[in-house]
Amino acid sequence: MTTSDQRRQHALDALAQQSIELPSWAFGNAGTRFKVFPTKGVPRDPFEKVSDAAQVHRHTGAAPRVSLHIPWDLVDDFGALAAHAADEGVQLGTINSNVFQDDDYKLGSLTNADPAIRRKAVQHHLQCLDVMRATGSKDLKIWLPDGTNYPGQDDLRGRQDRLAESLAEVYAGLDADMRIVLEYKFYEPYFYAMDIPDWGTSLLHCLALGEQAMVVLDTGHHAPGTNIEFIVAQLLRAGRLGAFDFNSRFYGDDDLIVGAADPFQLFRIMHEIVGGDALRPDSGVNFMLDQCHNIEEKIPGQIRSVMNVQEATAKALLVDREALGQAQRAGDVLAANGLLMDAYSTDVRPLLAELRESRGLPADPYRAFAASGYAERVAAERVGGTQAGWGA
Ligand code: PSV
Ligand code: MN
């Protein structure tokens, strides 16, 4: 029997170890294809993006890594960027390739029928591996925009064969301690057939590649109504859940603040993570945000996102798993469901405030950042230059 005090202590211990990686692009201007609204003080280069990300870590103590997007975050000296990150108290994390903004890739990148274009796309990924050697990053995240718009436009099976070949070339370039994490998305920018539309396709490619290839689950990349926690459980069973891109959605790939649209779904996902023992820092699952802040302030938006993930995790850690297992084995449907809902209904904000204060952090990171004066300072300092935006 675990007591509620024991579960509380266990939750505090586990939460103290939790870390969430931030996307550099969350700190630049973003919008829709209709309008990008500029914000005062937005970074002009990757160094300033890293400084802003470090603010999130400074106030939450839970966001020690920053993920880069290549070529948006290209710099002459990645060693200098890594040193700057260290000075700011954070590290550079996952490197994201980008084959979605070059004219050559209109009909595909790693899947393109033209061998010269496939070669160019493979080369881009090999360059990303060089960036990783300079930054100390261990994960190469691949999301491909590849797909077709019309039945008959290209041979579906041939595209899979070319994809497998190209991925194998990239995989062969990995160092022993590096991984490919392969993301899927069911639609957009193409609407008939994406080449990696779902977790099954990603998993099949990962299994063919080898143990250093893992699936990335972006919470915004499924059809409405998809049971995402089931996918989490399946990938954990297979030992192939490499990373999350957290965000939330009402309709499409909305990239809104994680936990904003459906905090209960986030809790259910974290319940599977805790149940699969995948919260441990060495579990091999990298928890990352992939979001844009179109109308809200960006650093506070990231702070709120980290807090939302912490809250969902805390609730998942408070589930009385022993009692739940007993109710499940006894076939007591309502008791089992009630145990899950009890945990979900707990107000965990005091627990998280206690955790933060015990670690010398502000009880309310969101308010502490607002009071710090950082936003006003960078708005005054960052004049001139070109503000970073989604795509730069
Ligand atoms: C694609 O929609 C995606 O989720 C991939 O992770 C990209 O790298 C990212 O968005 C860019 O924001
Ligand atoms: Mn993503």
State what percent of residues in the chain have pLDDT above 70: 99
Residue whose CA is closest, atom 10 of ligand 1?
290
Cβ(96) – ligand 1 distance below 6 Å: yes
Q: Is 183 in the pocket of ligand 1 (CB under 6 A)?
A: yes
Q: Please determine, for residue 98, whether its predicted confidence score (pLDDT) is greater than 70.
A: yes
Give the atom of ligand 1 at the shortest distance from the alpha carbon of 188: 2
Q: 207 C-alpha vs ligand 2 centroid, how far in Å?
A: 21
Of the candidates 171, 180, 176, the residue with the CA atom closest to the CA atom of residue 216: 180
For residue 25 and ligand 1, the question of a CB distance below 6 A is answered with yes
pLDDT of residue 305: 98
Asked whether residue 89 carries a pLDDT value surpassing 70, the answer given is yes
| Phi and psi, residue 233, nearest 5° | -60, -40
Q: What would the pLDDT profile of 155-207 be if each residue is shown by its tens digit?
A: 999 999 999 999 999 999 999 999 999 999 999 999 999 999 999 999 999 99
pLDDT for position 384: 93
Distance 1 CA to ligand 2 centre (A): 40
Q: Which residues pair with 286 in a beta bridge?
A: 243
Minimum CA distance residue for ligand 1 atom 9: 290
Find the farthest-apart pair of alpha carbons in the chain and give their distance in angstroms, rounded. Answer: 67
Average pLDDT over residues 49-76: 98
Ligand closest to Cα of 254 equals: 1
Q: Would you state the pLDDT for residue 382?
A: 97
Give the model confidence (pLDDT) of 331-341 as tens digits. Answer: 999 999 999 99
Domain ranges of the chain: 18-321+363-381
Whole-number Å distance, alpha carbon 183 to ligand 2 midpoint, is 7
pLDDT of 329 > 70? The answer is: yes
Mean pLDDT rounded to a whole number for the chain: 97
**pLDDT (0 to 100) of residue 392:** 57
Which helix (H) or strand (E) covers residue 87, if one does? helix 78-87
Q: Kindly report the number of other CB atoms within 10 A of residue 376's CB atom.
A: 12
CA of 184 to the centre of ligand 2 (A): 8
Tell me: pLDDT of 1 over 80. Answer: no
What is the rounded distance in angstroms from the CA atom of residue 286 to the CA atom of residue 278?
10
Separation of CA 228 and ligand 1 centre (Å)? 18
Helix (H, G, I), strand (E, B) or coil at 145: coil
Per-residue model confidence as pLDDT tens digits over 264-321: 999 999 999 999 999 999 999 999 999 999 999 999 999 999 999 999 999 999 999 9
pLDDT of residue 51 exceeding 80: yes
Q: What's the CATH fold of domain 18-321+363-381?
A: TIM Barrel (3.20.20)
Q: Is 179 in the pocket of ligand 1 (CB under 6 A)?
A: no
In this prediction, residue 191 carries a pLDDT of: 98
Distance, in Å, from the CA atom of 382 to the CA atom of 293, rounded to the nearest integer, reads: 19
| Chain segment 216-274, per-residue pLDDT in tens | 999 999 999 999 999 999 999 999 999 999 999 999 999 999 999 999 999 999 999 99
Amino acid, res. 42:
V
Tell me what pLDDT residue 389 has. Answer: 87
User: Which ligand is nearest to the Cα of residue 245, counting in written order?
Assistant: 2
Look at residue 237 in the predicted model and tell me its pLDDT. Answer: 98
What residue owns the CA closest to ligand 1's atom 12?
A: 290
C-alpha 280, offset from chain centre? 17
Beta strand 91-96 with 139-142 is parallel
At residue 391, does pLDDT exceed 90? no
13's tokens: 């211990």
Q: Which residues contact 274 (CB under 8 A, 6 or more apart)?
A: 14, 313, 316, 317, 319
* pLDDT-above-90 percentage for the chain: 98
Residue 172: the pLDDT is 98
CA of residue 103 relative to chain centroid, distance: 27
Instruction: Report yes or no: 270 and 312 within 8 Å, Cβ to Cβ.
Output: yes
On the question of a cis peptide bond just before residue 197, with omega within 30 degrees of 0, the verdict is no
Contact between residue 23 and residue 288 where contact means Cβ atoms under 8 Å apart: yes
Measured from the Cβ of residue 100, the count of other Cβ atoms closer than 10 Å reads 13
What are 155's two structure tokens? 């041979």
